[in-house]
Amino acid sequence: MGKDYYKILEVDKNADDEALKKTYKKLALKWHPDRHKNDSDKETAERKFKEISEAYEVLSDKDKRQIYDAYGEEGLTGAPPQGDGSGFPGGFGGFPGSNVKYTFSTGPGGSRGFTPSNPNDVFGEFMKHFGGMSNDDDDPFGGFSGFRQGSFGKNARGTGRTGMFQESFGARTPSEANTEVVKPIALTLEDLYKGVTKKMKITRKLFDSATSKQVTADKVIELQVRPGMKAGSKFRFANSGDELPNGVSQDVVFVLEEKPHQIYKRDGDNLIMTLSITLVEALSGFKKPIQTLDGRTLAISSKNIIQPDQEQRVLGEGMPTKDPSRKGDLIVKYKVQFPTRLTDKQKEEIRKVLDSSL
């Protein structure tokens, strides 16, 4: 029979997928080599973690499990099964009454059959697909408390760390290197103009090495937003998030977002606003007060004729820049309001005035 995968995973032969996932989580956490780097169980952990991953890989796959149940480990590896000599040299044509077909690849020296995957890959794939799906408070693979967790394999970055698991079984997979959790933080344009300090209280999940259970701990993170910072700017706090089962703690990344403003719109270092003026003001001049983002009153004026959709640039009244000695500009877009109706007398008077000025 070879290896008893059911015994290795501590489940009975009728265990369903959920039971397999649950026990694999528990055992993978218990025997993960990264959690036994410096103790006497180092070699035992490496061996058991490898066996656990192999057992889960077989039993969680419907076809492999069916072959294993019928022929044991020998059926998977391509070796002739004990007893019945009607085995499968170099291949395996299926089960009586079954549509399952398992073909073994061959190479120099004969058939080689099923080869267990790197346990790192098995663990990483499990994390990617099932790591954040449990509603169990004791789930060691739960997501970062109170935050939206970034999609595994997309926005995560490698940690660059090495550990016993890497040394024993090869480089970490992208799934294992998912140590980044992203949280957007929306700020007003005034905050981005003047700069602001934001204190964020987070709740993170950690593992108690003595009990191998999850515990929670609060942490206050302080964001120093400098004047002029832009939407999309990132604040990374290394190792401040949840501790993953492989012993690596997530980085917490805050990404600045800009709240819509009633008056201003940002364009790089410049500010853009739309200013409505009447037709009379467009033709004869005007002076209008506006409030700046830092609370000052700024007078916008013109003595010239303003055309519809004309723009005026006010130098140095935009957003702060990296250079403290300069700022962007304020771009004023004029919207000329035309009268909705005029009397015949008014039309005649306007015609006389305009005709004489052309």
pLDDT tens for each residue of 128-157? 566 543 434 333 333 333 333 332 233 333
Give 275's strand partners. Answer: 334
| Helical segments of 78-227, H only | 119-130, 164-169, 189-194
At residue 174, the pLDDT reads 41
At residue 29, the pLDDT reads 79
Map residue 288 onto helix, strand or coil.
strand
At residue 88, the pLDDT reads 41
**Going by C-beta distance under 8 Å and a sequence separation of 6 or more, which residues neighbour residue 136?**
142
Residues of the chain where predicted confidence (pLDDT) is lower than 50: 83-112, 132-177
Beta strand 330-337 pairing with 270-278: parallel
Helix axes 17-31, 42-59, angle to 10 degrees: 160
At residue 150, the pLDDT reads 32
Pairwise CA distance, residues 71 & 81, whole Å: 6
Minimal CA–CA distance to 225: which of 199, 253, 197, 201?
197
pTM here? 0.50
CB 6, CB 12: distance < 8 Å: yes
At residue 228, the pLDDT reads 95
At residue 85, the pLDDT reads 42
At residue 170, the pLDDT reads 35
Element (H, E) at 104: none
At residue 159, the pLDDT reads 34
Q: What is the DSSP letter of 41?
A: T
Element (H, E) at 297: strand 297-302
CB 122, CB 175: distance < 8 Å: no
CB 93, CB 101: distance < 8 Å: yes
**Going by C-beta distance under 8 Å and a sequence separation of 6 or more, which residues neighbour residue 155?**
180, 182
Pairwise CA distance, residues 88 & 20, whole Å: 29
Beta strand 196-208 pairing with 264-267: unpaired
At residue 96, the pLDDT reads 39
